[in-house]
Amino acid sequence: MLKAITFDFWGTLYHGASAKPLRLKRLNDVLRVHGHDVDVAALAEAERVAWDVWDRVWREEYRTLPTGDWLGLMLAHLDVRLPPAEVEALAAYFGEAVFELDPPLCMVDGMRDAVRRLSQRYRLGIISDTGLSSGRVLRRFLERDAVFDCFACLSFSDEIGVSKPHPRAFRRTLDCLDAQPAEAVHIGDLTRTDIAGAKAIGMRAVRFTGSNDDFDQSTRPDAAVATYADFERLIREWDGQASG
């Protein structure tokens, strides 16, 4: 019997443009106020250095670096010191720049209605790795779009201390949803984190291709869907098989 469904956030529930240009512009503005004239190429290189460290920690240590650490890496590479209050304000802006995206961060087509329908029958959760935007920030999008109350459990990597595919991210969420792995399905767009992580603990895993068709085929999903209509049909089929 299927009891629970867990969702990735980025590329599965929501998609949109990168906030990187906004963050680099704000950093450049602050640097100039404090007398540091840094060219665009140097800023881009500092951003790349910080990203490389973030990516290594994410892949090898199964955790996501805090935004303040990311900013610290950039400033260290630029050999720049700023007042602590300014660094704190910049880190806050880096986390919330997604609110200024134009066009704004938006729901994947069909997500809201599907999630609302599914929440009437199953316990729903989110298992999400956070980048520079924290779980606190991402909750605001769920609230904005009136789907926050559909989810009984939210597991964001900056809050639980591990990122996917670490088994604790999945088990912690299933414990919260009072479901065993065999009673749950996870849907996400990334093979390495979503598909491999869910299947490693015995969940069924669905790769969502509607936003990002991941080229990594190292772990085979139980199914792949491009739309939420397809996902709902799949869930009905699986639940019918389980109950039959």
Q: Which of 120-124, 201-205, 236-240 has the lowest mean pLDDT?
A: 236-240
- pLDDT tens digits for 38-60? 999 999 999 999 999 999 999 99
Based on the domain organization, do 86 and 43 belong to the same domain? yes
Based on the domain organization, do 89 and 163 belong to the same domain? no
Whether residue 108 has pLDDT greater than 90: yes
221: left (phi over 0), alpha (psi -120 to 50) or beta: beta
Can you tell me whether residue 232 is helix, strand or coil? helix
Based on the domain organization, do 36 and 61 belong to the same domain? yes
**Structural domains in the chain (count):** 2
Domain boundary among 70, 100, 130: 100
Whole-number Å distance between alpha carbons of 230 and 171: 26
Based on the domain organization, do 8 and 116 belong to the same domain? yes
Based on the domain organization, do 38 and 117 belong to the same domain? no
Domain boundary among 82, 100, 118: 100
Domain that holds residue 192: 4-16+105-243
Q: What is the CATH number of the domain that holds 211?
A: 3.40.50.1000
- pLDDT tens digits for 69-96? 999 999 999 999 999 999 999 999 999 9
Whole-number Å distance between alpha carbons of 175 and 183: 12
For residue 21, is the peptide bond before it cis, meaning its omega torsion is within 30 degrees of 0? no
pTM: 0.94
Based on the domain organization, do 125 and 233 belong to the same domain? yes
